[in-house]
Amino acid sequence: MRSLIQSTPAYELSADIATSRFGHSLRLVSFVPTARRPEEQVKFQAVLSTAEMRTLRALLDQALDAASD
């Protein structure tokens, strides 16, 4: 599954998550549509366990909660 995180006319950032028997493959992918040869570029990639994904989710939740205070 892929979700667009940030989009401007000149830049896009997406998160791509796929599940396999090895864990959850997480990729952050950028795309510059205005480039001479536009192509997706992987900026970050990791295979995480379910526990690690939950830790990442908890961190994101904490950051969002802190921002709303």
pLDDT tens by residue, 1-44: 999 999 999 999 999 999 999 999 999 999 999 999 999 999 99
> Could you tell me the pTM of the whole model?
0.84
pLDDT score of 49: 97
Tell me the domain boundaries of the chain: 2-68
pLDDT score of 12: 97
pLDDT bracket for residue 69 (50, 70, 90): confident
Which residues lie closer than 8 Å to 31 by C-beta, 6 or more apart? Answer: 11, 12, 13, 14, 38, 39, 40, 41
pLDDT over 90 at 53, yes or no: yes
Half-sphere exposure of 60 (CA within 13 A, CB side): 6
